[in-house]
Chains A and B, each alone.
Chain A
Amino acid sequence: MLEPSDILSLYYTSLYSGDLSTVKELMTPESYTMTLETFGLRLSLKDQEFKAVLKKIKEDEDALTEVENKLSYDLISRKVSPEIDIKSVSWNGEKRQTIDYTEDGKTKKLYFSKEKDGWKINYYAGRKVV
């Protein structure tokens, strides 16, 4: 089972190499959808057709596949390869962790929750659970 610190590195390398199938495996479903919607925003502002398809990804598998394909190319074209430096790992509860790190020197956090199939990135898991 991958630990959050492993997932963090894999998240960045997968995301910016356009490997969204791996990104999907590293996240909860809700966080993956948010990732597609947010990182797809730039494309949707320039491409009305993509924008229309992006709106349907939650309920349409074909739309999801189309978005993933187009977004994958877009992410690769950004030629981003940030330097990641983990600063600390903290527990927010029995099944939650937060990793504090820097991305090209800028302070960042990623939240993780322990799901049935292992640790996953979970954007909603930033709150400390007593």
Chain B
Amino acid sequence: MNTNNIENRRSFLTKMLVAGASGVALLSTSAYAKKDTTDTTVVLTEDQKDMLFYIYQEEKVARDVYITLGNIYTNENTFASIQLSEQRHMDSAKELCEKYGVDTSGVDEDAVGSFVLPVLQELYDTCVGEGETSLLDALKIGELIEYTDIEDLEHAAEGMPEDVVAVYESLKEGSLSHLDAFQTAIERA
């Protein structure tokens, strides 16, 4: 994925919001998730609620990786500033869960580097393991995480109601800024 591609995606998703397009099926998760409405109340499908919960857990991976790498490369401010932003991302994702009645009590936000889902633990361990090699490798891991987050948020937003799309779009904008910051730091390193 290159920066031009991401800029095109940013423009595309903005157009989707403006046009009110919400009929695109989820891609990577379920082919049958859809938005139902009851009067003016939006009701998510079970698959969509599952996605909210998973995205919330996945946001913790990014935050925790940056906390850990920031503790190793204490002279590199990029990790310190972005980890604060990732905490806000987690808060937004959690709020969405709570809004739609998704129980988040199983996620321990205080346990940095610890993930109950083995697949997320593997993701964290691999990112940190690679990042420990050198500052440049750590910054490249940050770049990779942001690319991945942007893709995952785009997929997660498809077929969701507008308030979820708005939050995920905001998170995606944040990730794009993080991506810029990491790429600037990589050039500097």
- Interface residues in chain A, defined as those with a beta carbon under 8 Å from any beta carbon in chain B: 30-31, 33-35, 38-39, 41-42, 45, 58, 103, 106-111, 123-129
User: Number of A-B pairs whose CB atoms are under 8 Å?
Assistant: 61
Q: How far is the CA of A29 from the CA of B6 in the complex (A)?
A: 27
- Beyond A58-B28, A126-B106, A127-B103, whether A103 also contacts B53 by CB under 8 A is no
A128 and B103 form a contact (CB under 8 A) = yes
From B54, B118, B123, A110 is in contact (CB under 8 Å) with B118
CA distance A34 to B28 in the complex (A): 10
Stretch at the interface among B42-50, B84-92, B176-184: B42-50
Q: Please report the C-alpha to C-alpha distance between residue A87 and residue B66 in the assembled complex, in whole angstroms.
A: 31
A41 to B102 alpha-carbon distance, docked (Å): 30
CA distance A41 to B123 in the complex (A): 8
Contact of B117 among A39, A109, A128 (CB under 8 A): A109
Interface size class of B (residues with CB under 8 A): 20 to 34
CB distance from A50 to the nearest CB of B (A): 14
In the complex the two chains form, what is the Cα distance from A103 to B114 in whole Å?
12
- Given A45-B126, A109-B106, A129-B46, A123:B116 Cβ within 8 A: no
Q: A38-B122, A106-B114 are in contact. List 8 more A-B contacts (CB 8 A).
A: A30-B30, A35-B119, A38-B119, A38-B123, A42-B130, A108-B117, A126-B54, A127-B49
Does A42 lie within 8 Å of B29, measured CB to CB? no
Name A109's contact: one of B46, B50, B51, B116 (CB within 8 Å). Answer: B116
